[in-house]
Amino acid sequence: MSKMTAKEIRAKFGSLGQPIPATRVIARDMDPKHFGNKPAICLLAINDVEGTITQANVYDGNLGRGYAPENYTHPLPAEDSDKWKVYKKKGYTERQVSDFDVLTQVEVKSSKKEKAAAK
pLDDT tens, position by position, 62-80: 998 899 999 999 999 999 9
How far apart are alpha carbons 11 and 55 in whole angstroms? 17
Question: Residue 25: is its pLDDT beyond 80?
Answer: yes
How far apart are alpha carbons 70 and 117 in whole angstroms? 36
The DSSP 8-state label assigned to residue 12 in this structure reads H
pLDDT tens, position by position, 31-62: 877 777 888 999 999 999 999 999 999 998 99
Extents of the domains making up the chain: 6-96
Terminal CA-to-CA distance of the chain, rounded, Å? 42
> What burial class does residue 64 get, using C-beta atoms within 10 Å of its C-beta: 0-12 exposed, 13-18 middle, 19+ buried?
middle
